[in-house]
């Protein structure tokens, strides 16, 4: 609810502060006194655009502030969470317009965008003004009305859960079918590549090992000649080095006790003899196993040629990379083989979810149908009471394909003059008619929908007497659980107020300014009497005013 509205330096308002009742607030005043200016100021903190023309003093900024009690409304809490704003039981919304034309908006002193302000404003206030198409003309609101009367909140949530799962399954199915198409386009080529790699039957590091072996075989004659040239002087010549070392050892051993350094020399020569002998044996062993094999060379060259061809084809450098590609191709082709099974499962899943959604939507449609005739009768009866005896509402409910809200397209049609030509509300209803129609509808659904503060600007256009009284009664009843703010010229409606505010002009320093004040009981009697009998009402008008306040 709107607890407080503060306005400074706006149009012809210097500064006013209004404390609203949580029930029925009535605002009256002479034509041109500035009642509509109040609504303009309120619109600013609800996210409407503004310019510097609204500044009464062009050297000061304009400030509009509204204090709202959120009353733990779920939609408001969800918005604050999503916008990362502090969740408080009381919200201070402020709009500033500076002399240079800049506009700033704040929620609890945190700067916000105009879009954020407008979104929050729509959750806090339902403003009905003349010539405004209103929420009533919106298809989503019309459906909400029928669903509220049919008590389809929970069934609709269940349906929407199934509907979303169905749409997700269809989306997944489409993606899988597209994937299958893409796979099939390259499947033959991938199979060819896989067959090519599989046929080669590579083992880890094979190409690298073959390359090394080929180098050895290709140089076998040179290597063998070199090794033979080394072995020969070591152990095969007329005076082998190994034998010469052995003779040196034998010659020195006869003198080892005669000089202290000779035993060490003998030990080193003995080690050299053993090492040289081992080297000669190892070289001879290697030499024995190096053989020139032209057939093996041809075999290796052929296999390497096949391997290098695939390395170049796949733009990789190692056997391991080719084996990895072979594994990837195998997995992709396995997907092609298994994708049909997945598609078949998804088709069955989607069909099952669609059937569930259809059943739930059909049940919701049945309950909606049950409410249409009673709803039309109740609204038409209320329309008669509020001064629209020839007006009738008709609910059009057509079956369409499954969508987020079931199988139905719901539209309110309106005939203001018993022409039997029902047209969409936004095409045929005037501003005043829309406001009264909205009041009638919201009075029926108030107990089912979490309505925000309802503001009606001149809902009384074109009515008086009993019709105005009935509008006041409906508002009074509706305000038992919802805050209502209403600008009116009708004494019958003013008499129902829980808080009666009077807008007036006053002259000061050769300037005219608008002000507003809360009337006491005695002032209310006089204000209503003046609405009945003019500026100087008689005793009868005063008594009638008292009666209106008590009836």
DSSP letters of 154-183?
Answer: HHHHHHHHHHHHHHHHHHHHHHHHHHHHHH
Say if CB 387 and CB 166 are below 8 A apart: no
Residue 133, pLDDT score = 40
pLDDT at 135: 60
Q: 112: helix, coil or strand?
A: strand
Res 332 pLDDT > 60: yes
For residues 3-18, give the mean pLDDT: 91
What tokens appear for 375 in the block? Answer: 């709803």
Q: Would you state the pLDDT for residue 131?
A: 41
What is the structure's pLDDT at 476? 92
**Torsion sign over Cα 132, 138, 143, 144:** negative
pLDDT of residue 431: 67
132-171 b/e (C-beta count within 10 Å ≥ 16 → b): eebbbbeeebbbbbbbbbbebeebbeebeebbebbbebbe
For the chain, where do the domains classified as CATH 3.40.50.300 start and end?
Answer: 1-131+450-519
Q: Output the pLDDT for position 430.
A: 66
Mean pLDDT of the chain: 87
The pLDDT, as a whole number, for residue 481 is: 83
pLDDT: is 220 or 470 the higher one? 470
Tell me which range, 34-48, 272-286, 363-377, is most confidently predicted by mean pLDDT: 363-377
Only one residue has tokens 């402020």, namely: 94
Q: Is 31 a residue whose pLDDT tops 80?
A: no
Residue 463 pLDDT > 90 = no
Q: Please, are residues 76 and 120 in contact by the beta-carbon 8 Å criterion?
A: yes
- For residue 372, what pLDDT is reported? 96
Please state which of the ranges 103-107, 396-400, 460-464 shows the lowest mean pLDDT.
Answer: 460-464
Query: Count of residues for the chain?
Result: 551
Q: What is the mean pLDDT of residues 394-406?
A: 94
Q: What is the pLDDT of residue 132?
A: 46
Tens-place pLDDT, residues 108-166: 999 999 999 999 988 898 876 544 444 666 778 889 899 999 999 899 999 999 999 99
Maximum mean pLDDT: which of 178-187, 386-395, 422-431: 386-395
pLDDT (tens digit, 9 = 90+) per residue, 469-488? 898 999 999 898 889 999 98
* Cβ atoms of 108 and 89 closer than 8 Å: no
**Lowest-confidence segment of 148-157, 220-229, 497-506 by average pLDDT:** 220-229
Q: Report the percentage of the chain scoring pLDDT > 90.
A: 39
**Terminal C-alpha separation, the chain:** 26
Rounded CA-CA distance 391/416 in Å is 4
> What local confidence, expressed as pLDDT, does residue 516 receive?
92
Q: Which residue has the higher pLDDT, 262 or 363?
A: 363
Q: Is 447 helix (H, G, I), strand (E, B) or coil?
A: coil
CATH architecture of 1-131+450-519: 3-Layer(aba) Sandwich (3.40)
């Amino acid at each position: 609810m709107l607890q407080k509205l503060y306005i400074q330096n706006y149009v012809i308002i210097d500064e006013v502060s209004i404390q609203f009742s949580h029930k029925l607030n009535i605002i009256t005043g002479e034509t041109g006194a500035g009642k509509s200016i109040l609504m303009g100021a309120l619109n600013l903190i609800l996210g409407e655009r503004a310019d510097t023309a609204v500044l009464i003093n062009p050297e000061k900024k304009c400030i509009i502030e509204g204090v709202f009690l959120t009353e733990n409304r779920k939609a408001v809490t969800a918005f604050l969470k999503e916008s990362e704003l502090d969740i408080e039981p009381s919200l201070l919304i402020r709009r500033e317009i500076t002399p240079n034309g800049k506009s700033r908006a704040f929620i609890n002193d945190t700067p916000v965008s105009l879009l954020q302000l407008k979104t929050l404003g729509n959750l806090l206030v339902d403003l009905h003004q003349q010539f405004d198409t209103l929420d009533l003309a919106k298809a989503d609101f019309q459906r909400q009305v029928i669903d509220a009367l049919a008590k389809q909140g929970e069934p609709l949530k269940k349906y929407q859960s199934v509907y979303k799962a169905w749409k997700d399954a269809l989306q997944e199915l489409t993606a899988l079918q597209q994937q299958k198409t893409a796979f099939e386009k390259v499947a033959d080529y991938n199979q060819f590549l896989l067959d090519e790699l599989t046929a080669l039957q590579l083992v880890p590091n094979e190409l690298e090992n073959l390359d090394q072996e080929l180098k050895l075989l290709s140089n076998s004659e040179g290597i063998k000649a070199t090794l033979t040239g080394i072995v020969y002087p070591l152990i095969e010549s007329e005076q082998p080095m190994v034998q010469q070392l052995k003779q040196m050892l034998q010659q020195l051993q006869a003198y080892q006790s005669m000089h202290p350094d000779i035993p060490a020399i003998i030990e080193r020569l003995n080690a050299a003899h053993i090492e040289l002998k081992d080297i000669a044996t190892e070289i001879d062993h290697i030499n024995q196993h190096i053989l020139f094999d032209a057939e093996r060379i041809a075999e290796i060259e052929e296999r390497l040629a096949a391997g290098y061809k695939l390395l170049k084809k796949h733009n990789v450098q190692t056997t391991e990379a080719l084996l990895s590609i072979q594994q990837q191709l195998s997995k992709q082709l396995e997907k092609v083989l298994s994708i049909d099974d997945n598609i078949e499962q998804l088709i069955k899943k989607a069909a099952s979810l669609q059937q569930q959604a259809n059943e739930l939507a059909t049940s919701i449609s049945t309950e909606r149908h049950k409410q249409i005739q009673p709803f039309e009768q109740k609204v038409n009866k209320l329309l008669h009471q509020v001064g629209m005896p020839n007006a009738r509402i008709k609910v059009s409910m057509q079956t369409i394909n499954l969508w987020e809200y079931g199988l139905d397209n719901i539209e309110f049609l309106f005939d203001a003059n018993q022409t039997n030509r029902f047209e969409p509300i936004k095409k045929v209803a005037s501003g005043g008619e829309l406001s009264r129609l909205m009041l009638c509808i919201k009075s029926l659904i108030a107990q089912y929908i979490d309505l925000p503060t309802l503001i009606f600007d001149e809902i009384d256009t074109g009515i008086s007497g009993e019709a105005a009284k009935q509008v006041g009664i409906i508002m009074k009843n509706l305000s038992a659980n919802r805050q209502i703010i209403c600008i009116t010229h009708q004494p019958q409606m003013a008499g129902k107020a829980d808080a009666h505010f009077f807008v007036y002009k006053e002259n000061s320093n050769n300037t005219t300014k608008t002000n507003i004040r809360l009337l006491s009981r005695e002032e209310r009697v006089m204000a209503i009497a003046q609405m009945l009998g003019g500026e100087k009402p008689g005793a009868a008008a005063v008594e009638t005013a008292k009666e209106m306040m008590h009836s």
